[in-house]
Amino acid sequence: MTPWVTRLLLLNVVVYFLTAPVREAVFPLFGWIPAYGLFRPWTIITYQFLHANFLHLLFNMIGLFFFGPRLENKVGGRHFLGLYLVSGIVGGLLSVFTPFALIVGASGAVFGVLLGFARYYPDERIFLWGVLPIRARVLVIGLAVISVWAGIQGGGNVAHFAHLGGFVGGWAYLKILERNSGAERFKRQLEKAQAPSRPSGQNLERWRAVDSGRLHPLNREEYERIMGKVDRTGAASLTVQERAFLERMSAS
């Protein structure tokens, strides 16, 4: 168990048992009703920690327990909490299609966690009901399709648009996180600094003039791979990193 998964599990469980005896009084004050969101903005957060019944709580916490720790280790505690809350918020906002529904539960947040898990571990096998194996990305796609279809059909007492919003919020959070990561910024700066528009004939002559026999075996293998790619698909198909490698080899 990781720190934020543990805290969120405990918080949801404690809130459930504290509010269960007074649910009828608590839900109208702290549950999310999209049409009244501007007048009760705190409910976009508080609704995520309320649950209609024990099974509702149990299934959400099982999802958080199984998918949360690995994702938290991957992105870090601060970003895991951010993804969790943002997914729940977007889930609430997307429920605007059911404007007067009273929505409670961590489902949107947990669906965001599932989306994050599937993004980084798409081929991880998940056993539905402990029996049926399914890959994480297939599960997310399937749940998204079900959420759209059931939401359009009316879906009963299940907040399908909140589930779908959880996926949207999780995806958006991770895209922004990855876009602003140090590694991604460095990659963009490197590409900007190194990338010529197209390799010239002089580039090709210089690259072909490299004596591969004098290269270290690892460099020779990479050089031959890249030059083979040039022969098959042309120099324009090379990546920035491949061009930079050839430049280094021709200058040595």
Residue 56 designated active-site = no
197 confidence band (pLDDT: 50, 70, 90): very low
CATH of the domain at 108: 1.20.1540.10
Other C-beta atoms within 10 Å of 87: how many? 32
Q: Are 160 and 168 in contact (CB under 8 A)?
A: no
66 HSE (CA, 13 A, CB side) = 17
122 and 211 share one domain: no
Residue 202, domain member (yes or no): yes
Look at the chain and report how many structural domains it folds into.
Answer: 2
51 and 97 share one domain: yes
136 Cβ partners below 8 Å, 6+ apart?
114, 117, 118, 121, 122, 123, 124, 125, 126
Interval 222-238 mean pLDDT: 87
Pick the catalytic residue: 163, 181, 212, 250? 163
Residue 185, domain member (yes or no): no
Residue 10, domain member (yes or no): yes
CA dist 29 and 234 (Å) reads: 65
187 confidence band (pLDDT: 50, 70, 90): low
Q: Are 62 and 139 in contact (CB under 8 A)?
A: no
175 and 213 share one domain: no
Examine the fold and report which residue of 180, 200, 229 is the final residue of a domain before the chain moves on.
180
244: containing domain: 190-251
Pick the catalytic residue: 51, 56, 87, 107? 107
47 HSE (CA, 13 A, CB side) = 31
Residue 163 designated active-site = yes
